[in-house]
Amino acid sequence: MKLQFIPTRVHLALDVAGGAALAVVPLLTGARKQGKRHWVPYLALGALEIGAALLTKPETTTPKTRVEKLVETAQRAKDTAAKGVAKVR
């Protein structure tokens, strides 16, 4: 069963925003003044997250029509009912 709370494109946009925030943290906290070992990891992880989001191909599925959803629901109901009858026998 596939759970999908937010669309893939929204998830990727949040990844980009999170990566940008991670890369900016040393500037906002003053850690950049303490030397490279304090800010390079943040920058690297932020760039990695942004890069991964930009290189990810989002799913290109077409939304199902109402009829397709109804047929799918009816099929699931039929399968569930068949399983219930099989258990009773």
pLDDT of residue 63: 65
Question: In angstroms, rounded to a whole number, what is the distance separating the alpha carbons of residues 21 and 50?
Answer: 10
pLDDT of residue 67: 81
Query: With a threshold of 0.85, does the pTM exceed it?
Result: no
- The whole-angstrom distance between residue 42's C-alpha and the CA centroid of its chain comes to 22
pLDDT of residue 68: 82
Q: Which long-range contacts (CB under 8 A, 24 or more apart) does 42-47 make?
A: 45/19, 46/19, 46/20, 46/21, 46/22, 47/19, 47/23
pLDDT of residue 7: 82
Q: Rounded to a whole number, what is the distance in angstroms from the first to the last CA of the chain?
A: 27
Residues of the chain with pLDDT under 70: 1-4, 60-63, 85-89
Domain positions in the chain: 8-88
Across all residues in the chain, what is the average pLDDT? 85
